[in-house]
Structure 1
Amino acid sequence: MHTLLKLCYFFSLFLLLSCGGKSTQKPDDPSNESVDSPTEEISKEDSKTIIFFGDSLTAGLGLDPQEAFPAVIQDTLNSLGMNYTVINSGLSGETTASGRNRLDWVLNQKADIFILELGANDGLRGIPLAETRTNLQAIIDAVRQKNPNTKIILTGMQIPPNMGQDYTSEFRKIFPDLAEKNTLPLIPFLLEGVAGNPELNQEDGIHPTIEGQKIVADNVWAVLEDVVRE
C-alpha cells in the first residue's frame, strides 16, 4: 500500500508541477519571496542566519509562511535557545536555472548556513541532467565565493519515472554525488515519510499539510542539528 501511495504521489507531482502548479508567483521576481522579517531579524549582530533557498516546497505553497517547515525549524531553534534567524527564500516554480539567476539578490543577505533545495522542477520538465547538475554546482560555488565560511546543506529529491527509469535514477544520484564532491551534509530525501501519504499532503497530493511540514522539518533537523551545534 505504501508503494502504491508513493506512485500516486509521484504521478500527481508530475501532473501538477510540470504544469506550473497553482502558484501565481513569477519565478524571477525576488519580491515574491517568502521571507521572515529579514530587515528586522538579520540586523541583530549577534544572531546567525540560515537561508532556505528552494521552490514551492520551501515556500510552503498553500499554507501561511509561518506553517512552512523553515518556520518550524525557527521554532525549534528558539525552543533550544539557539540564536539563529531563519530566512525562507523559497519561490514556487523555481528551477535550478532560475534559482541560479536569483542567487545574487538572495546572497545580499547574511548567510551562516545555506540550505539548497532545488531540482524537482528540473526533473519534472525533463531538463537535461547535466544542466541541472551544472546549475546546482554553480550555486554551491557562488555561495562559497560570497563567503567561504558559509555552511551549505544539500537536500535530495526524487521524481516519478515518467522520463524513463534511466533518467529517474540518474536524477536521484545528482544530489548524493554533489554532496560527496563538495563535502556537504545531505538530506537524502526531503519528503521522506510524507510523499504518498494523503493525510499529510494538501488536496493537490504534493505539498505537505501543516502536519506534513512538521515531518519535513524533522527530516531537515536530523541533518541541520549537527551543523548548528558545531
Structure 2
Amino acid sequence: MGLRLFLKGFLTYGVRALRGKALALVLMGAPAWAEPVTVLAFGDSLTQGYGLPAEDGFVPKLQDWLVAHGDEVTLINGGVSGDTTAGGAARVEWSLTPEVDAMIVALGGNDVLRGIAPEIARTNLTSILEVAASRDLPVLLVGLPAPGNYGAQYKAAFDAIYPDLAEQFDVLYLQSFFTGLGEGQPSELQEFFQADGIHPNAEGVTQIVEGMGPIVQELIGEIE
C-alpha cells in the first residue's frame, strides 16, 4: 500500500510539474516545440539552379544554410528557367499551394534580357504581390538591377520597380539577387559565374546564399 501511494503521489506531482514547466516556457517566450514552415522560392533560372547539379542549386543551398542556422524550414523550388514576370503572374495562383507559409519573389531578369517595358514588368509583379497579400503571406521581394544596355532612362525605371512595390505592399526587400557577391564590377566577379556570364556557379551560389540568408530568416520570423 505504501508503494502504491508513493507512485500515485509521484505521478500526480510529476504531471503537474511538467505542466508547470511547459507553461513557464510559454510565458518566457521560449517554445516547447518548433513547427516547421514552408517557403516558396518563386523565380526563374537563377532560382531553379540552371546548369548546376541539384544539390548545388540556390534552393537546396539556401535550405541547408537555414537549417544550419537553426531554422526548421522546407523550401519549395518554384524556379522556372526562362520565366518572365508575365509567366510568374500566370502561375502564381496555383504555385501557392495550401502548405506555403511565405514566398520569395525573384523575377525580372528575363524581362531585362528581352527588353520588356518596365511598366509591364511592374504590372506583372504587382499582380503577384496582390495574390500573396490576398492570402496574408509574408513576402521577400528580390530585385535584379538592369544593366545600362537600354539606356539610363530604362535602367532607372526598371530599378525603381522593386523598392516601390516593396513599400507599397509593405514586404521585405533585397536590392539584388547578387548582393552576396559584393560590389565589384561584373568583369571582376566572373569567377562566381558559369561560362555564360549570367548564371552563378556553385561557389557563386554559396556566396549569394550567405548574402540572402539573414533576410530570409527575417521572412521566416514574420510567419504567424
TM-score normalized with structure 2 length: 0.77
- Counterpart for residue 173 of structure 2: 186
Measure how far apart 1:99 and its partner are: 1.1
Distance 2:164 2:219 in 1: 20
Residue identity opposite 1:52 in structure 2: A
Q: Verify the 8 A CA contact 1:179 1:185 in the aligned structure 2.
A: yes
- Given candidates 216, 219, 227, the residue that maps to 2:219 is 227
Measure how far apart 1:205 and its partner are: 1.0
Measure how far apart 1:229 and its partner are: 3.5
In the TM superposition, what whole-angstrom CA distance separates every residue of 1:85-104 from its partner, at most 9, and x where no partner exists? 01111011000111111112
Distance 1:104 1:181 in 2: 20
- Counterpart for residue 214 of structure 1: 206
- Counterpart for residue 80 of structure 1: 69
- Given candidates 123, 133, 143, the residue that maps to 1:144 is 133
Q: RCO higher in 1 or 2 (8 Å CA, sep ≥ 6)?
A: 1
Distance 1:203 1:48 in 2: 36
In the TM superposition, what whole-angstrom CA distance separates every residue of 1:62-110 from its partner, at most 9, and x where no partner exists? 0022211221121122223322101111011000111111112211252
Does residue 119 (structure 1) correspond to residue 108 (structure 2)? The answer is yes
Q: Verify the 8 A CA contact 1:96 1:119 in the aligned structure 2.
A: yes
Structure 1 pair 161–80 and aligned structure 2 pair: CA distance change class (3 A) = closer
Does residue 163 (structure 1) correspond to residue 150 (structure 2)? The answer is yes
Q: Verify the 8 A CA contact 1:187 1:219 in the aligned structure 2.
A: no
Distance 1:109 1:212 in 2: 32
Please identify runs of 4+ aligned residues in structure 1 that moved more than 3 A: none
- Given candidates 102, 106, 119, the residue that maps to 2:91 is 102
Whose Rg is larger? Answer: 2
- Given candidates 196, 205, 210, the residue that maps to 1:204 is 196
Structure 1 pair 199–210 and aligned structure 2 pair: CA distance change class (3 A) = same
Structure 2: give runs of 5+ residues left out of the alignment. 1-34
Residue identity opposite 1:53 in structure 2: F
Residue identity opposite 1:160 in structure 2: P
Moved more, 186-195 or 205-214: 186-195
TM-score normalized with structure 1 length: 0.75
Q: Verify the 8 A CA contact 2:139 2:219 in the aligned structure 1.
A: no
Structure 1: give runs of 5+ residues left out of the alignment. 1-45
SS of residue in 1 equivalent to 2:149: helix
- Counterpart for residue 159 of structure 2: 172
Q: CA RMSD in A?
A: 1.7
Moved more, 208-217 or 155-164: 155-164
Distance 2:112 2:197 in 1: 18
In the TM superposition, what whole-angstrom CA distance separates every residue of 1:3-38 from its partner, at most 9, and x where no partner exists? xxxxxxxxxxxxxxxxxxxxxxxxxxxxxxxxxxxx
SS of residue in 1 equivalent to 2:105: strand
Residue identity opposite 2:55 in structure 1: Q
Q: Verify the 8 A CA contact 2:40 2:96 in the aligned structure 1.
A: no
Distance 1:125 1:77 in 2: 34
